[in-house]
Amino acid sequence: MLAYLVKRLFQAIAVMLAISLIGFAIQDNLGDPLRELVGQSVSEETRQQLRDELGLNDSFFTQYLRFLGNAVQGDLGTSYFFKEPAVDVILKKLPATLELVFGATLIIVGLSVPLGVYTAIKPNHVLAKVIMGASIVGISIPVFLTAILMIYVFSVEYQWLPSYGRGDVVHVFGYWDTNFASLDGWSHILLPSIALASIMLPLFVRLIRAEMMEVLQSEYVKYAKAKGIHPFRIYFVHALKNTLLPVITVGGVQIGTMVAYTILTETVFQWPGMGFMFLEAVNRVDTPLIVAYLIVVGFIFVVTNTIVDLIYGLVNPTVNLARMGA
Amino acid sequence: MSLLSVRDLTVKFAMRDQTVTALDQISFDLGKGERLGIVGESGAGKSITGFSLMNLLSRPGFIDSGSIQFEGEEIAGLPDRKMRSIRGNRMAMIFQDPMVTLNPVLTIGQQMVETLQAHRRLSRADAEQIAIMKLREVYIPSPEERLAQYPHELSGGMRQRIIIAMALLLEPQLIIADEPTTALDVTIQADIMELLLELCTSNMVGLILITHDLGVVSQMTERTLVMYAGRIIEAGKTREIINDPQHPYTQGLINALPQQTLPGHRLKQIPGNMPGLAAIPTGCAFNPRCPYAVDHCRSTRPETVSYASVEVACHEVNRLHNTVLEDESA
Amino acid sequence: MSSMVDTGEPTRLQRIWQSNMAYSFRRNPVAVVSLVIFLIIAVMSLLAPVIAPFDPYDPASIDIMNSEYPPAWVEGSEPEFILGTDDQGRDLWSTILYGTRLSLIIGLCAVGLQAFLGISIGLIAGYIGGRLDNILMRLADIQLSFSTLMVAIIFLAVTQAMFGSETFNQYAIFFLIAVIGVAEWPQYARTVRATVLAEKRKEYVDSARVLGFGAGRIMVRHILPNSLSPIFVISTVQVANAIISEASLSFLGLGMPPSQPSLGSLISSGFDYIFSGSWWITAIPGVVLVVLVLVINLLGDWMRDVLNPKLYKG
């Protein structure tokens, strides 16, 4: 078990190093920190002097090591636009994005399991066919179109729900303000969460259905029937547990995709999260912020993937974590 | 009163553009504690017979007509809720491949306890005690520890023993064993069969043993059904069928056994293959492969007749028997 | 079913085409309708320069005074513009035809690139095996764990910042094809590798080797045909995904510029006008995009049911 953890940790560190190298290469090639610092009205001589002082004339490798050293201490440079440490800027935006992802995940997990199981158990029922039809339409509508459509219907036409921003948030601690503590907060996060969930939900319904149908054909399900086990127990204990194993793996990958979709959702709803901030940073060529976003997102990917792998190992009795480490 | 009485059981499969007959008017009886073998090539309908007795035919198969009486009760077409209280309780089944029969994510204990709790009001602890007792009966070493183990931690032979223990959990009247040793190593096949035989005789449990192995049938069973293309073509006491087979197909099966061939000679195989269910020949289904077939065999379906103490479905059984006798006297 | 996966004769594909596939296609109205709609969209968009009444790329034919006319069936419309005009005064019908053409070209080319990279890597990894296989598959795992869209967004954002908008816009179509094409190769590589591993054990590959055929010939002539059904199924889904990805990137301003709009950039420019009531600039290209992706997905679904390939599950 410990050996496996260590191995996983090394793998995660290797991926993070690769991401940091990409991040640094971007920083090195994109924009001129000097111009941002002193403007253009400085003589060439002072420029060279400043470059030396800032270490900008050192070799690529030396500069990368310095970048890495700072990064480990949580220093990813200062945002040109906000004149604040880039990490702070992102951490302030992070809770908004995480709450959005959380809202969408609730919708996806809460609906995909019952819908997927139902369509697998009763594949020929009219309702199951409607769900499957809706799901293929669902995966064919891009997230941003769903978002626009919902804004048009619920905000422009009927004016039931707000179309942008977070509304009244309640301070929790640190940089964390929450949407889930006030009615206004709930009304603001509802549409963005649905939009973000809109493409993943049908994907998971279809995945769970396909896996479940395969499991229901298996010998051990037939055997459970031959033992006289109640269908509910067969569906929800025998079959569902085997169904969810591959779903967990796919789910881990999809978390990454979901972070990407937050950029789209946040843009449409002007949700003040990391994704929205990132696009603004791109338009302003705010290099430290772009690089910081890349590294923070990379970190989220690596952490969630590692956690998902561990969960898979713990849930699946045929995976022996101790043996995998050897 | 017999334990099981099957009359004219017909099972069909609804395929894309036609309905094929998988079991054609099967009839047989099984007494209390009696052991019956069902023999045939793969595709003859042996397994389908087993599954239709349990009412576990999966789509697109269905029972078209006929009756199945189990302990005097008609169970063909019984609603699933009622059938569930019979399955695993009064009638248990042993599947072919123990490597895929047990659920990989549930422990042995969970799978045994759930079976008990499906049919009896028992606490988990009581159920576990019964499970341990049954595991002991099938000679599983340190059964207490097995309960916490997952199937993948056990060998195939061990798993099949556990499945036999599960079949015995609720002291059923009938066990249907569908090729219970085909997937196992040759070295442990005999052990498992012996165990099954021992447990069935000591507990007075009826056994339906589905197999393609005539040798196993001769050791394990009192009566035998030989199936071909969805029909019973010969039925009777196992001893009679092995020693004096009447149907040309059964004769072919027995002649094909390695014991029947002198060393250095080729095995005597039956020429040709069994027809698919969608293309069963008219008349006697065996006629294209039968060395004795005459015009009558190709046009009319043979009825089952009593002949020399067995039931056999062959037009030419009379002539056949005389020819064999002549051959022997010559 | 097993006979479809197992047999390796060259006539296998023909046989499927003649029997099962054609049969189930005729019997499946959804598949027929989807194919017809797809062909209509594809042919019309490819013939855009012939069909379209205006040239949306020609600044001379655009008059800003014509902007935001509604479609013909809405009050205040201009009969000249059937589907109305966009914010810049371009005829929406013509712009959509050209935009769909761009979306389709980018989608198909990107998937072509994916398939080329993935199939090559999958064949090499599976056939050579050992350390190389290990490294390539590890790489595929890592690549897959990062979402394509995320990688594409960051790559395009950095490229745009580096080259400046003007140069970027000029070459946007190539950047889009490259990034969508490169990011999804593992899908193909894993499936092809799995088939190679299964086929490598079979006798005919050994006998081909004994006969002295080179590795390249064995792979292309003997192994590749056996991976065709999963490749077909993956490709359909991938084209649909690539079109969605392209639209999403263009919507974010990281894809096709407003001067040469794809469906995504057209929706994006219309979004600013949705609150002022000019819904058609967003809605009509949106409907076209959804219908296009939907019919491709429906065809993919049908194909998956018919070919029933063993797809790699991770």
* Residue C309 confidence class, pLDDT cut points 50, 70, 90: low
Coil vs helix vs strand at C135? helix
Residue A264: list chain C partners with CB under 8 A. Answer: 248, 251-252
Does some domain include residue A155?
yes
C161 Cα to chain A: minimum distance (Å): 6
Average pLDDT rounded to a whole number, residues C114-142: 87
Rounded Cα distance between A62 and A28, Å, is 12
Q: Is the pLDDT assigned to residue C10 strictly greater than 60? A: no
pLDDT attached to residue B87: 92
A172: DSSP letter: E
Does some domain include residue A45?
no
pLDDT attached to residue A36: 63
Does some domain include residue C80?
no
By CB atoms closer than 10 A (0-12, 13-18, 19+), residue C87 is middle
Does some domain include residue C151?
yes
Half-sphere exposure for A106 (CA within 13 Å, toward CB): 11
Six-digit token string for C141: 């795992």
* Residue A3 confidence class, pLDDT cut points 50, 70, 90: confident
Rounded Cα distance between B35 and B222, Å, is 6
Closest CA relative to residue A30, chosen from A263, A279, A290: A290
Per the DSSP assignment, residues forming a β-bridge with B38 are B210, B225
CATH number at residue C185: 1.10.3720.10
C298 part of contact set with chain A, CB < 8 Å: yes
Residue range C231-260, pLDDT digits in tens: 888 899 899 999 999 999 999 888 888 888
pLDDT higher for B99 or C26? B99
C179 part of contact set with chain A, CB < 8 Å: no
Q: Region of A153 please: left (phi>0), alpha (psi -120 to 50) or beta.
A: alpha
Write the residue in B87, B104, B114 that is nearest to A233 by C-beta.
B114
Rounded Cα distance between B232 and C240, Å, is 55
CB atoms within 10 A of CB B104: 17
Q: Is the peptide bond before B60 cis (omega within 30 degrees of 0)?
A: yes
Phi first, then psi: what are they for B78, rounded to 5°? Answer: -65, 140
Least confident of B184-193, C122-131, C171-180, C194-203: C194-203
Rounded Cα distance between B63 and B11, Å, is 4
The whole model's pTM is what?
0.84
pLDDT higher for C142 or A213? A213
A220 part of contact set with chain B, CB < 8 Å: yes
- The DSSP bridge pattern shows strands A170-173 and B310-312 to be unpaired
CATH number at residue A259: 1.10.3720.10
C52: DSSP letter: -
Least confident of A309-318, B76-85, C283-292: A309-318
Rounded Cα distance between C149 and C241, Å, is 10
Chains that touch A (3 or more CB pairs under 8 A): B, C
Write the residue in A237, A241, A317 that is nearest to B150 by C-beta.
A317
C281 part of contact set with chain A, CB < 8 Å: no
**Are A261 and C282 within 8 A, CB to CB?**
no
Average pLDDT rounded to a whole number, residues C160-174: 85
**Are C248 and A151 within 8 A, CB to CB?**
no
* Residue A38 confidence class, pLDDT cut points 50, 70, 90: low
Phi first, then psi: what are they for A101, rounded to 5°? Answer: -60, -40
Coil vs helix vs strand at C51? helix
Does some domain include residue C11?
no
Phi first, then psi: what are they for A123, rounded to 5°? Answer: -65, -20
Residue C212 Cα to chain centre, angstroms:
39
B152 part of contact set with chain A, CB < 8 Å: yes
Does some domain include residue C164?
yes
Residue A177 belongs to what H/E stretch? strand A176-178
Average pLDDT rounded to a whole number, residues C176-190: 89
Residue A239: list chain B partners with CB under 8 A. Answer: none
Residue C145: list chain A partners with CB under 8 A. Answer: 252-253, 256, 301, 305
B228 Cα to chain A: minimum distance (Å): 25
A248 Cα to chain C: minimum distance (Å): 10
Range(s) of the domain holding residue A229: 91-273
pLDDT attached to residue B4: 92
Range(s) of the domain holding residue C251: 112-309
**Are B87 and A238 within 8 A, CB to CB?**
no
B89 part of contact set with chain A, CB < 8 Å: yes
Q: Which of B103, B147, B175 to mutate to test the interface with A (most CBs of A within 10 A)?
A: B103
Q: Output the CA torsion B282→B286→B290→B296 (10° steps).
A: -30
pLDDT attached to residue A79: 85
Q: How many residues does chain C have?
A: 314
A326 Cα to chain B: minimum distance (Å): 18
What is the 3 state secondary structure string of chain B? CCCEEEEEEEEEEECCCCEEEEEEEEEEEECCCCEEEEECCCCCCHHHHHHHHCCCCCCCEEEEEEEEEECCEECCCCCHHHHHHHECCCEEEECCCHHHHCCCCCCHHHHHHHHHHHHCCCCHHHHHHHHHHHHHHCCCCCHHHHCCCCHHHCCHHHHHHHHHHHHHCCCCCEEEEECCCCCCCHHHHHHHHHHHHHHHHHHCCEEEEEECCHHHHHHHCCEEEEEECCEEEEEEEHHHHHHCCCCHHHHHHHHCCHHHCCCCCCCCCCCCCCCCHHHCCCCCCCHHHCCCCCHHHHHCCCCCEEECCEEECCCCHHHHHHHHHHHHHC
Q: Region of A270 please: left (phi>0), alpha (psi -120 to 50) or beta.
A: left
By CB atoms closer than 10 A (0-12, 13-18, 19+), residue C213 is middle
pLDDT higher for B220 or C218? B220
A234 Cα to chain B: minimum distance (Å): 11
Helix C148-183 with A240-269: angle, nearest 10 deg:
100
CB distance B101 to B163 below 8 Å:
yes
To which residue do tokens 């019997």 refer? Answer: C27
Rounded Cα distance between B111 and B134, Å, is 13
Does some domain include residue C44?
no
Coil vs helix vs strand at A171? strand
**Are B56 and A219 within 8 A, CB to CB?**
no
* Residue A46 confidence class, pLDDT cut points 50, 70, 90: confident
Chains that touch B (3 or more CB pairs under 8 A): A
CB distance B218 to B187 below 8 Å:
no
Write the residue in A136, A151, A298 that is nearest to C301 by C-beta.
A136
Domain locations along chain B: 1-90+173-189+202-330, 104-169
pLDDT in tens, chain B (330 residues): 689 999 999 999 887 778 888 898 999 999 998 999 999 888 888 889 999 999 888 878 889 999 999 998 999 888 888 999 999 899 999 998 888 999 999 999 999 999 999 999 999 999 999 999 999 999 999 999 999 999 999 998 899 999 999 999 999 999 999 988 888 888 888 889 999 999 999 989 999 999 988 888 998 999 999 999 889 999 999 998 988 888 888 888 888 877 776 777 766 778 778 888 778 888 888 888 888 888 888 888 888 888 878 888 888 877 776 666 566 554
Number of structural domains chain A divides into: 1
Does some domain include residue C24?
no
Write the residue in C158, C251, C297 that is nearest to A26 by C-beta.
C158
CB distance C273 to C281 below 8 Å:
yes
**Are C267 and A260 within 8 A, CB to CB?**
no
In sequence order, what DSSP letters do the residues of A73-86 get, joined into one string? TT---B-TTT-SBH
Write the residue in A218, A229, A245 that is nearest to B118 by C-beta.
A229
C267 part of contact set with chain A, CB < 8 Å: yes
Closest CA relative to residue A241, chosen from A149, A318, A131: A318
Six-digit token string for A212: 């479940």
pLDDT higher for C298 or C205? C298
Q: Is the pLDDT assigned to residue C1 strictly greater than 50? A: no
* Residue A64 confidence class, pLDDT cut points 50, 70, 90: confident
CB distance C303 to C119 below 8 Å:
no
**Are A264 and C252 within 8 A, CB to CB?**
yes
Q: For residue A155, give the chain C residue with the closest CA.
A: C275
What is the 3 state secondary structure string of C171-194? HHHHHHHHHHHHHCHHHHHHHHHH
Q: For residue A252, give the chain C residue with the closest CA.
A: C145
Q: Which of A282, A284, A287, A297 to mutate to test the interface with C (most CBs of C within 10 A)?
A: A282
Q: Region of A287 please: left (phi>0), alpha (psi -120 to 50) or beta.
A: alpha
* Residue A7 confidence class, pLDDT cut points 50, 70, 90: confident
Would you give the end-to-end CA distance of chain A in angstroms? 9
Average pLDDT rounded to a whole number, residues A109-113: 93
CA distance to A152, B169, C62, C271, per residue, from C276 (Å): 11, 74, 22, 10
Residue C248: list chain A partners with CB under 8 A. Answer: 142-144, 264
A174 part of contact set with chain B, CB < 8 Å: no
Q: A251-269 in b/e burial notation, b at 16+ Cβ within 10 A?
A: bbbbbbbbbbbbbbbbbbb
pLDDT higher for C173 or A254? C173
Write the residue in C148, C297, C313 that is nearest to A136 by C-beta.
C297
Residue A229: list chain B partners with CB under 8 A. Answer: 84, 88, 114-115, 118
Residue A230: list chain B partners with CB under 8 A. Answer: 84, 118
Write the residue in A149, A256, A290 that is nearest to C158 by C-beta.
A290
pLDDT attached to residue A321: 54
A245 part of contact set with chain B, CB < 8 Å: yes
**Are A253 and C147 within 8 A, CB to CB?**
yes
Least confident of B55-69, B233-247, C192-206, C278-292: C192-206
Residue A99 belongs to what H/E stretch? helix A86-121
Q: Is the pLDDT assigned to residue A277 strictly greater than 60? A: yes
Does some domain include residue A213?
yes
A230 part of contact set with chain B, CB < 8 Å: yes
| Domain B1-90+173-189+202-330 class in CATH | alpha beta
**Are A142 and C289 within 8 A, CB to CB?**
yes
**Are A259 and C301 within 8 A, CB to CB?**
no
Does some domain include residue C34?
no
A with B: how many residue pairs have Cβ under 8 Å apart?
75
A182: DSSP letter: S
Q: Is the pLDDT assigned to residue A195 strictly greater than 70? A: yes
Q: Is the pLDDT assigned to residue A323 strictly greater than 60? A: no
Does some domain include residue C122?
yes
Does some domain include residue A301?
no
Residue A260: list chain C partners with CB under 8 A. Answer: 147, 149-150, 153
Beta-carbon contacts of B70 under 8 Å, excluding residues fewer than 6 positions away, are: B3, B4, B53, B86, B90, B91, B174
Average pLDDT rounded to a whole number, residues A174-201: 87
pLDDT attached to residue A117: 94
Closest CA relative to residue A132, chosen from A49, A213, A223: A213
Per the DSSP assignment, residues forming a β-bridge with B176 are B93, B208
**Are C297 and A246 within 8 A, CB to CB?**
no
